[in-house]
Amino acid sequence: MKAYTLSSLLLSALALALAARPDAGSLDAATIAVQELDRVLSLPGQPSYSPAFKQYSGYVTTDEYLGKALFYWFFEATDKPDEKPLVLWLNGGPGCSSIGFGQSQELGPFLVKKDVPELELNPCQSAVPGLSSGRWIFVHEHALRKRSTGRQFHRWFQRFLQHKAKEFYIAGESYAGHYIPQLANVILEENKKASKENYINFKGILIGNAYMDGDTDLWGIVDSAWHHAIISDNLYSDFQKNCNFSLVDLSPECTADIGQFTALYNIIDIYSLYTDRCELGYPDFNSSFSAQIGRTSSGRLDLMKMPMGYDPCTQTYATEYFNRKDVQKALHADITGMPHAFSLCRNSISNAWKDSDLTVVPVVKKLVEAGLRIWIFSGDTDARIPTTSTRYTLKKLGLQIKEDWSPWFHRKQVGGWTVVYDGLTFVTVRGAGHMVPSTQPAQALELFKHFLANTNLPSKPF
C-alpha cells in the first residue's frame, strides 16, 4: 500500500447517489456489488486461527474532477455486529497513517509480528474494540485535509449505507487532536442542514495525547522534560527567559534553546520515556510530526518534529509488511502503481502542510456546548504531548469540575487518574506512552469500553 497524495490518485468516480437504508437486507444489488469489490477475504501472513469477521478496504472517491480519494480499512465486530457502534480511528502527523499505526501497532485485530513482516492476532483480541466493542474504520491520513474530511466520510457512508444509522464516534491520538475536533465540527454543521438520508448519527469523540494548542502544548513539553530530569536547570531557565510559544515566530534565542533540547531526544524515546529505543533503527521518514508547518519558524518545527519511536521496533515491521506486493493486492491498494514505497509518515506531506491552526480550543469549546460526548486521555510517560501539556490546554477551556481528580482501576491496580468536567472527561493512563493502546493495551481497552458505554471508569479494584 503506497503512500498517496490525493491529487495523485487517478480513480474513476463511483455513482453512489442511493437512498440510505438502515439494514443490510434492504440494500440493492448495486450497493452490495460495490461493497463486495472492497471485501478482504484473507491477508498474507494472517493467522489461520483468526476469528470470523468481515473486513473491507479500498478507496472512496471524494473528488472526481481532481481524482482525489480516501483509502480506508474497515472491520466489523465478531459478536452481534448490527448492534455495535461505528468508530473512526485517526492517527497523527500530519501525514501519518492509521493503517500503519493504529490498526497494525495498536488496536486493530491484526498486529505486525516483531520478527517477520507477517501478522498476529492482537493479544486482547477476545475483547479488542475492532472485534467486539464496535466496528472500526482506519484511514490513510496522508490524504486528510480538514476542509474536505466531512465530504470524504459522507462518501464512505454512501458506500456502506447499512451503517449510516448506527452511532458514530471518532477516536485517535496525537495530531488527531486537530483532525478530530475539526471533523466533528464539520459533521455537526452539516447535520444541521442534512436531509434524513445524509444525517450522520454522530455521538462523540475520544482523543489521546492530543496536540490541541501550540502555546500550552509546547510549554508542557518543556516543563515535563524538566520535571522528568531530562533537561538542566540552566536550559529550563533559558526557555523561560527566551521563549514565548504564543507567538507565531520564535526568537533566535528560543530557536537555539530548542536545538539543545532536541539533541537530548536523539538518545531516548520521546514517545515512551521509559522504553528503550529500537536498536534496529526506525523507518526513513525522518519525522512524524510537524504541527505548525507553514505558520512558524524552523525553531518551532524542530521542537515539534521529534524522531518517531516506540519499541519493540514495530514501525519497521509495519513498513516492511505494507510494502509487500501481495499485501497491497489483498488490500486493493496501490492501484495506480505509485513510484515510491509505502511509508508510515511522509515528509512530502508534512513539510508542505498549510492547514494547521495554532489552536483548536475554540472548536473544542463549541463541541462541549453542543453536548457531544468528549473524552481526552493521556499516557503519562509520553514526553511528546505529555499529560502536563493536556492539563494546561484543558485549563484554557475554563470548564467547571463535577468530579475531581481521583484514581480509576484496571482489575486490582490503579489504571490512572480521572477528572470529570462539565461536558468533558479527562483520563490519564498510568505507565502508557504516546501510543496508549501499544504500551498499555488492557487499560486502553477498559477506557474504550467505558467511553462507548458512556459510563464512569471503575473507582474501586475489581
Cell of 33: 456489488
User: Is the CB of residue 404 less than 8 Å from the CB of residue 426?
Assistant: no
The closest alpha carbon to 171, from 130, 123, 110, belongs to 130
Cis amide prior to 94 (ω within 30 degrees): yes
Q: How many CA atoms lie within 13 A of 244 on its CB side?
A: 5
Cell of 109: 485485530
CB within 8 A of 287, min separation 6: which ones?
305, 306, 307, 308, 345, 347, 350
Instruction: Determine which helix (DSSP H) or strand (DSSP E) holds 374, and give its type and residue range.
Output: strand 373-379
The closest alpha carbon to 286, from 339, 346, 341, belongs to 346
Provide the β-strand partners of residue 375.
206, 425
Distances (CA, A) of 418 to 96, 206, 376: 29, 14, 10
Q: How many of the other CB atoms lie within 10 Å of CB of 79?
A: 12
Gap between the Cα atoms of 384 and 86, Å rounded: 29
Distances (CA, A) of 427 to 17, 35, 406: 41, 37, 10
Gap between the Cα atoms of 36 and 313, Å rounded: 35
N residues, the chain: 462
User: Is the CB of residue 184 less than 8 Å from the CB of residue 366?
Assistant: no
Q: Give the residue numbers annotated as catalytic, written as ranges.
A: 174, 382, 434
- Which parts of 122-253 are beta strand (E)? 135-139, 168-174, 202-210
Gap between the Cα atoms of 325 and 334, Å rounded: 9
Cell of 337: 502503481
User: Is the CB of residue 373 less than 8 Å from the CB of residue 45?
Assistant: no
Q: What is the dihedral of CA 312, 317, 318, 322, to 10 degrees?
A: 180
